[in-house]
Amino acid sequence: MDRIIIEGGKRLSGRLPISGAKNAALTLLPCALLTEEPVTLRNLPRLADVDSFGHLLNQLGASTTIEGSRPEDFGRVMTLKAGRLTSTVAPYDIVRKMRASIVVLGPLLARGGEATVSLPGGCAIGNRPIDFHLKAFETLGATIEMANGYIRAIAPDGGLKGALITLPFPSVGATENSLMAAALATGETIIENAAREPEIVDLCGLLVEMGSEIEGIGSDRLVIHGKPRLYGATYKVMPDRIEAGSYACAAAITGGELELEGASAEDMHVIITALRDAGVLVEPTKTGIKVSSDGKLRPLTLSTAPHPAFPTDMQAQFMAMLTLADGASVLTETIFENRYMHVPELTRMGADIAVSGRTAIVRGVPKLSGAPVMATDLRASMSLILAGLAADGETQVNRVYHLDRGYERLEEKLGAVGAQIERVSDG
């Protein structure tokens, strides 16, 4: 298993390219199931999760072709063509490893008339139910059966029928599944209390390119006029705001200066505001954003919540940064009940963090010290990388496969801007 070894204390400086967004890619890929024509996605990040999703789509009958990118380039272009669905089953082995695969439910149900998907179960960051997704399908007329750890959704004769879906909470996954199902339903579907994350806007962007008619894009009320068929399209995946935010924290925690090429300031409003509140300088540039810090960080009070509030996917990285702030920060995690798995590891590096329920008090310390650490999820792993970049001495981050799921060639990007970082394989 690979490890990442960091010799901390190096100031980062230079240009760092931002990849296509993982969370957008994983909802754009299943759109290919909605049409028999080819869908080409540009700027897809090279990530383990994208590969796994491609394999799942292959099993369902989509062909995938990767073209036009050299190994040294970031990102790639993939063309998917699901001329005919050969299966409507997403098996346990895949869903267990990649929770995001439940978003094939909506498109399979809409196009294939039925979908059988393994129940995803809990994960490291908490119990993650899918009741809102299933309720939405029922509202569109589907029947839901559960047996042997699988969910089977069956569309009525004549297909799904447009309806009013009111989500109890603006769930990202449930909004995505509802949107894709509604795209091929008969008549009009309204999604009330829809998630407004930029990745949902990106999904709507592709659906519109494929022939969908959607009103209210970017708002919490989406109106989808269902179409009998959708068409092929070529679409560029949006830049990864969470990757950009993570590297902004890297500039801040090392007192460095990074130009995040390709980052979209527009999608990062709340992250940029929080960085500025912490005393970090953030300026939009023609090609991205520039982030610089003199290393003096102010404490923050942050609470995660659905977009446009502070994203849960940035909580761990901000926590790492705030371990070195001048005072006490208060972080509250409202989305997931168990998303503080990085706290004991940061504490082993010298951080002073006390967790009570969903709130963490982070008292700034003058220094962190390197240590062997490991994390149980993607963003938690990134918080340990950030801590390692600032810590005295050597930090070994284990279970690198988490990082490979969500950060394209992390050590290469950080190494190019001055980090002393390497990946070691234990063979």
Q: Which residues bind ligand UD1 (CB under 6 A)?
A: 23, 128-133, 169, 171-174, 197, 306, 311-313, 335-336
b/e string for 212-242 if b means 16 or more Cβ within 10 A? bebeebeebebbbebbeebebbebbbbbbbb
Beta-strand pair 114-118/89-90: parallel
CB of 231 to ligand UD1, least distance (A): 27
204 labelled catalytic: no
The one-letter amino acid at 46 = R
Neighbours of 349 (CB within 10 A): 25
**Cα–Cα distance between 12 and 209 in angstroms, integer?**
40
Q: Which residue is catalytic, options 31, 123, 204, 249?
A: 123
Q: Where are the beta strands (DSSP E) in 200-327?
A: 213-215, 221-225, 233-236, 257-261, 281-284, 288-292, 301-303
- Min dist CB 169 to ligand UD1, Å, is 5
| Of 173 and 256, CB closest to ligand UD1 | 173
In the complex with ligand UD1, the residue whose CB is nearer, 304 or 323, is 304
Within a 10 A sphere around the Cβ of 294, how many other Cβ atoms? 12
> What gap in Å lies between CA 288 and CA 8, rounded to an integer?
26
Between 8 and 311, CB nearer to ligand UD1: 311
Taking the complex as a whole, the smallest distance from the CB of residue 272 to ligand UD1 amounts, in Å, to: 17
Choice between 191 and 390, CB closer to ligand UD1: 191
Sign of CA dihedral 172, 88, 240, 295: positive
- Least distance to ligand UD1, CB of residue 110, Å: 18
Q: Nearer Cβ to ligand UD1, position 144 or 365?
A: 144
Residues labelled as active-site residues? 123
